[in-house]
């Protein structure tokens, strides 16, 4: 299904249909997926694209080619709203019949906002990115909106008491519906082996080297005798990873603790991913991407699954994590970030009672991001765009 952004819009499309709207989702052709199909009421049309290259310049060229293909393939339907997540398409699309152009700004802007002065909306997911967009186009502040990413119902812990293995027997039962399940009231309290989990791209900007070094420090000190570290995510460059050389570098530097490490690789199946969240005791997301990280879907998914999260001090995480209340934060900007992370880990794993309490509060914090509620926020913003466009055309 791709990464977090792709998964979120896949889920949002289905929720828009459930709430009475027509949705067409245009994406990259991949493998043996059909060019056209209907999934849960959403019409999917796929256009030939490219793997992610290492070069940003080549990426922009590929984006231009893909955008032209989309326009020329005749797959764009007449619509009220056209949501885009590419660099070039909003620049190339000028015909109103495709809908008011609604740009989803999924990363920090890097000067390109000036090219989008004509669009109806510039939507992003956290307040720091809103500020960054406004800094580039201060006179268009009224066009900027903040609507977060949603968490699908399947991620929310269903049972009141998680069992010892914390596995989901039938995750598909939770894929639909508006009901917010009961909160969990324990986190793997009876398990002998404890798990720290990372889910995300295996890339230098994600701080995985920090995590490995900090965990190795704990293991050597004897503080974490029954803890292990599981790393889930793609290392391949075509999926946004750091490549095979980077993976080998990580494995070499962590060789001394290889018996405590579980390298899983990419997991695109939602039910499988949920199992990893549910079986973990602590989620760690040590991202260093000061101008790359915009939201943090993975920490929120963990929180919804009953697994408390420890994150770096990036501003984007502070929209939903407060230190010691709804999660944990370490100072990744300190002179010795490895020690900062190791010290925070030591405090957390030494107090299982507090960890269980934070699991409760973080679960509650994640409720605000449930898919049906967030979808309604998007639909309200779409409606506002249409009203603004109607006024502009009179």
CATH code, domain carrying 196: 3.40.50.2000
- The closest alpha carbon to 116, from 97, 99, 133, belongs to 133
**Do 273 and 310 fall within a single domain?**
yes
**Do 360 and 231 fall within a single domain?**
yes
**Do 385 and 336 fall within a single domain?**
no
**Do 377 and 329 fall within a single domain?**
no
In angstroms, the CA 256 to CA 251 distance is 9
Tens digits of residue pLDDT in 50-83: 988 888 899 999 999 999 999 999 999 999 999 9
Number of folded domains in the chain?
Answer: 2
From residue 230, give the alpha-carbon distance in Å to each of 155, 208, 263, 391. 19, 11, 6, 53
**Do 256 and 340 fall within a single domain?**
yes
> 227-232 and 194-199 as β-strands: parallel, antiparallel, unpaired?
parallel
**Do 205 and 267 fall within a single domain?**
yes
**Do 145 and 178 fall within a single domain?**
no
**Do 162 and 132 fall within a single domain?**
no
**Do 125 and 186 fall within a single domain?**
no
Tens digits of residue pLDDT in 76-98: 999 999 999 999 999 999 888 99
What is the domain range of residue 287? Answer: 153-369
**Do 261 and 348 fall within a single domain?**
yes
Tens digits of residue pLDDT in 341-365: 999 999 999 999 999 999 999 999 9
- The closest alpha carbon to 67, from 97, 27, 106, 101, belongs to 27
In angstroms, the CA 41 to CA 20 distance is 10
- pLDDT at 158 (0 to 100): 55
Residues in the chain: 394
**Do 75 and 110 fall within a single domain?**
yes
**Do 360 and 388 fall within a single domain?**
no
Tens digits of residue pLDDT in 19-61: 999 999 999 999 999 999 999 999 999 999 998 888 889 999 9
């Amino acid at each position: 299904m791709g990464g977090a952004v792709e998964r979120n819009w896949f889920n949002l499309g289905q929720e828009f249909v459930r709430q009475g709207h027509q949705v067409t989702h245009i994406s990259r052709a991949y493998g043996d997926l059909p060019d056209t199909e209907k999934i849960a009421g959403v019409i999917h049309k796929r256009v030939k694209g490219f793997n992610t290259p290492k070069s940003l310049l080549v990426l922009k060229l590929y984006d231009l080619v893909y955008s032209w293909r989309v326009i020329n393939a005749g797959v764009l339907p007449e619509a009220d709203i056209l949501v885009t997540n590419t660099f070039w398409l909003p620049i190339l699309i000028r015909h109103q019949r495709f809908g008011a152009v609604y740009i989803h700004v999924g990363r920090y802007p890097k000067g390109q906002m000036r090219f989008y002065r004509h669009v109806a909306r510039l939507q992003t997911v956290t307040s720091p990115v809103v500020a960054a967009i406004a800094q580039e186009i201060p006179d268009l502040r009224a066009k900027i909106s903040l609507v977060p990413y949603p968490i699908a119902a399947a991620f929310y812990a269903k049972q009141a008491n998680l069992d010892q293995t914390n596995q989901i027997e039938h995750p598909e039962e939770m894929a639909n519906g508006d009901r917010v399940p009961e909160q969990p009231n324990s986190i793997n309290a009876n398990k002998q082996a404890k798990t720290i989990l990372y889910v995300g791209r295996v890339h230098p900007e994600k701080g995985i080297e920090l995590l490995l070094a900090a965990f190795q420090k704990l293991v050597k000190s004897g503080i974490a005798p029954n803890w292990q570290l599981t790393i889930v995510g793609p290392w391949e460059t075509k999926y946004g990873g750091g490549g095979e050389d980077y993976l080998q570098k990580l494995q070499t530097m962590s060789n001394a603790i290889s018996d405590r490490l579980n390298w899983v690789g990419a997991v695109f199946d939602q039910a499988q991913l949920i199992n990893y969240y549910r079986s973990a005791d602590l989620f760690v997301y040590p991202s260093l991407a000061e101008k790359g990280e915009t939201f943090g879907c993975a920490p929120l998914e963990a929180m919804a699954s009953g697994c408390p999260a420890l994150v770096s001090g990036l501003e984007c995480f502070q929209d939903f994590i407060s230190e010691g209340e709804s999660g944990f934060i370490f100072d990744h900007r300190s002179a010795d970030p490895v020690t900062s992370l190791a010290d925070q880990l030591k405090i957390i794993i030494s107090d299982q009672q507090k960890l269980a309490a934070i699991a409760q509060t973080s679960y509650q914090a994640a409720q605000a991001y449930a898919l049906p509620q967030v979808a309604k926020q998007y639909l309200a913003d779409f409606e506002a765009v249409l009203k603004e466009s109607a006024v502009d055309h009179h």
